[in-house]
Structure 1
């Protein structure tokens, strides 16, 4: 795949007020991440100035979708919604993902909810984990393929989930695991790459979510404090995003 990469970002949720004011939406968050990753690749032919043509689609409220002929890749964002629900917009998203899986040119990136949707569309179980939430910066143990794609031996990444993909679809290469989530990433060459964590998150975004969910009673005070204690720890979002770009650029 050659630059500019025509990436359609499917927004599966709306961020909280602070994040929305700064980035406009999760599409803006991912544009910022991928632009930083393009500059960090140290490839003389690729930079944030020439690497991308972004388009953004609201698949929840407007249920908009791109024409595959006009794009090279699809990125599915995270979401507060459950990937295993059968709301009409989720079923429509599932149909779209299955359509993309059936062709061989347009590639997909899935993050958190997007990772789970791609797993579900590939025929494996997704649902609520018995082990509870993973939140804030946590370690992921990488496989050899994960180390190759992300360019490092270890990975620390922001998490914000209690839903998981329970097993790997056929032909998928494993990218990593954690004690509470054995399917932290999936890869099929030329088809898709997914990750359960949030490379696009930073301490500001996660702190806003933590405060909001603590106020709602979703996270108790102990969970909230433990997560806030880790929220500014170094994380490898750029390394993961560079892996996304390597996947899109590989022959």
Structure 2
């Protein structure tokens, strides 16, 4: 697997994916993991027969519209920015997501990506009515609402009840999904933890790619920036340290299957 800044000629028979980065690498992630690109690659990539191109959409770097057909799937990362903001790059990202939807391209949105994907396709997003959600949370899958053809979630139907734990780190949420979308998961904190449109659009509010150390470093940064109170930060870190590991392998399988199934 290779990180490519911007697009480049494809190799015949090679699967190709684009990571649309909506956040810059913080110092901790660069030092501990080599940057967010490596974090996503470890979670969603395979070692052979794939190429992942990286686009810093937060800095105005987008794939060429003439190259969109070359890609088998797209992943939109999380971000400290608001998905309902009107920054030029966010509006351009919305237009790109609308185009990808019309082309029936696979698009996986994570956290901010989940929210901006919802916004771009006609839904509504905003500040979470219950405030920040940081830590480990159990997400309940509504198997009876899974869209037809969503075989990437088929193993969840064998769980009783079908639920998975995931790391959350957000203060915004989806208020209303697009008219053609189905809400397929919720939690006791957030009403729309996952939504899907057919077999080509999937939004996940939590972070399948995060490890505990990454979210703990984010908590420290949010505290330093006065975004959260010390008591809240300490409680969140304590909760993470005392909790079991999230169901990362299950989430990674869901995401990989979604991106890579025909």
The alpha-carbon deviation at position 60 of structure 1 amounts to 1.3
1:241/1:200 CA distance change after superposition, 3 Å: same
* 2:52 counterpart of 1:74: no
SS at match of 1:231: helix
Which residue of structure 2 lines up, in the alignment, with residue 218 of structure 1?
227
Is 2:235 the partner of 1:237? no
Matched residue, 1:44 = none
Instruction: Give the 5 Å matches for 1:93-132.
Output: 93-104=93-104, 106-132=105-131
| 2:33 aligned partner | 23
Q: Tell me, what secondary structure is at the counterpart of 1:130?
A: coil
Equivalence map 1:1-251=2 (5 Å): 4-35=14-45, 48-66=46-64, 67-104=67-104, 106-144=105-143, 145=146, 148-149=153-154, 151=156, 152=159, 153-232=162-241, 233=243, 234-251=245-262
* CA positional deviation for 1:190: 3.0
Q: Which runs of 5+ in 2 are unaligned?
A: 1-12
- 1:58-100, Cα deviation, whole Å (9 max, x unpaired): 1111422252122111100000000000011111111111111
TM-score, length basis structure 1:
0.87
TM-score w.r.t. the length of structure 2 is 0.84
Q: Following TM superposition, where does structure 1 have runs of at least 4 consecutive aligned residues deviating by more than 4 angstroms?
A: none
Q: Aligned residues, how many?
A: 236
What are the ranges of 5 or more consecutive residues in structure 1 without an aligned counterpart?
Answer: 36-47
